[in-house]
Amino acid sequence: MEPFRVHILGCGSALPTLRHNATSQVVEVRGKLFMVDCGEGTQVQLRRSHIRFTRLRAIFISHLHGDHCFGLIGMISTFGLLGRTAPLQIYAPVDLQPILQQQIDFFCTGLEFDIDFHPVDTTQRNIIYEDKSLTVETLPLEHRIACCGFLFKEKPLLPHIRRDMIDFYGISLSQINNIKQGADGVGRDGLPIPNARLVQPATPARSYAYCSDTRYMPQLHQEVKGANLLYHEATYGSESEGRARMYYHSTAAQAAQVAAAAKVGQLMLGHYSARYDNEKVLLNEAKTIFPNTILAQEGLVINV
């Protein structure tokens, strides 16, 4: 199976700490790398994770709070120093475009690559990126400013060829692609062979839902239903539920409620408040509702 992984570069919240970096992740799908949010210090974390800067195809910014985007101009500058020539795709709320362009004009003159900015409507669920194997959709969230999450979803895969049956019936290799697309085969004797005898069901397509800063949304489970992996912010524990509501954040228990209602495969918590010296209290809180929960940690690489 082709790799589908999430690399955690940072999982802290706005206040810097010595334990966590600001939010950033790299989603790896079938050899393609996409960055989700780019907080301060992301470049150093890329180095530590041994991820090559030049392999990043696109950067998705969930919202314009500094702990999610202050690292972006530094990253662009480094791309220039490394001699990048491939275009860089940036998907972000529209208000970032003039700010970013001003920074580029001042700090990054002479870049040898194009920056293609794609304004994102954070209020609508839309497909904003698509290639032959993947789509990325926006997930509208409720935060103090315009904010959305992202759903990375593989396109349906083709069925697996049954090599034993191909050999048994003497099916020519030239028919394989058509058989994968649903056509019947023709055996060595010229007789048709039903497609169902020649294939096995495709591997189920995988999906990863990234839900950045948001207060609890009871309806959110409908948007992330059945995801293999859900990242949901868990800035606070339940003892601070009032604070979470005030600042448009979520508790670990609320994140777990979304995961349980959505019947996701696994929940990953992140965006921890600096008040917690040990996030195990958040993990335990979530596990009472959704047992298959883990904590995001810098350096963690998780298979979807």
Domain ranges of the chain: 4-157+203-303, 160-200
Write the pLDDT tens digit of every residue in 25-61.
999 999 999 999 999 999 999 999 999 988 999 999 9
Q: Taking residues 209-214, what's their average pLDDT?
A: 97
pLDDT computed for residue 54 by the predictor: 87
- Choosing from 37, 67, 95, 277, which is the catalytic residue? 67
Q: How far are the Cα atoms of 169, 181, 205, 239, 266 from residue 202, in angstroms, in the given order?
A: 21, 11, 8, 45, 22
CATH class of 4-157+203-303: alpha beta
pLDDT at site 144: 97
pLDDT of residue 157: 84
Q: 129 forms bridges with which residues in the sheet?
A: 136
Strands 24-29 and 4-10 turn out to be antiparallel
**Could you confirm whether 164 is annotated as catalytic?**
no
What pLDDT band is residue 158 in, cutting at 50, 70 and 90? confident
**Entry pTM:** 0.93
Q: Are 249 and 287 in contact (CB under 8 A)?
A: no
Q: Which helix (H) or strand (E) holds 232?
A: strand 229-233
